[in-house]
Amino acid sequence: MAQITFKNSPIHTIGELPSSGSAAPSFTLCSGELEDVALESFQGKTLVLNIVPSLDTSVCQASARHFNEMLSKVEDVVVANVSMDLPFAQGRFCSSEGLENVISLSAFRNAGFGESYGVTITDGPLKGLLSRAIVVVDPTGKVIYTEQVPEIAQEPAYEAVLNLLK
């Protein structure tokens, strides 16, 4: 269980992020078209999971915008914003912001994603949502980078991800 903070108050996740070098836990998430999307759908590409509590918050929106811009110039990389938001809400945000270089996937049908990746928040006002984290999966399905952001209101280390993918 990871301890993180929300507005400087301690909260916890259900577990820990997968370790670098391990196989990425399998998942099935829901696309904006309400179709199932599995980890295996990204085989052959590097996958950046931008895991966020909700795209209805300013920091989550900022990270989606930043990854959309930053990784649009890197080939064979897919960025997926993952949250518990309904696919309709995710789609409205990405559409209104013109985010064309990221996809959004919802875990609303599959609580197992948060458990497998260790990011379900178990207490506090955000209980049941996903913590802010980054997981990068290489084209063969191996985890090559993780970051559990220690404070929910803090943005992730974008440059570390960009440097890894250059």
Tokens of 139: 């084209």
Q: Which are the catalytic amino acids? A: 60
Q: Are strands 46-51 and 133-137 parallel, antiparallel or unpaired?
A: antiparallel
Cα 134 to Cα 96: distance, rounded to the nearest angstrom: 24
Of 101, 16, 5, 100, give the one whose Cα is nearest residue 53.
Answer: 5
Tokens of 81: 């914003």
The residue written with tokens 């696309």 in the block is 31
Residues in CB range of 47: below 8 A, 6 or more apart: 24, 39, 77, 78, 80, 136, 137
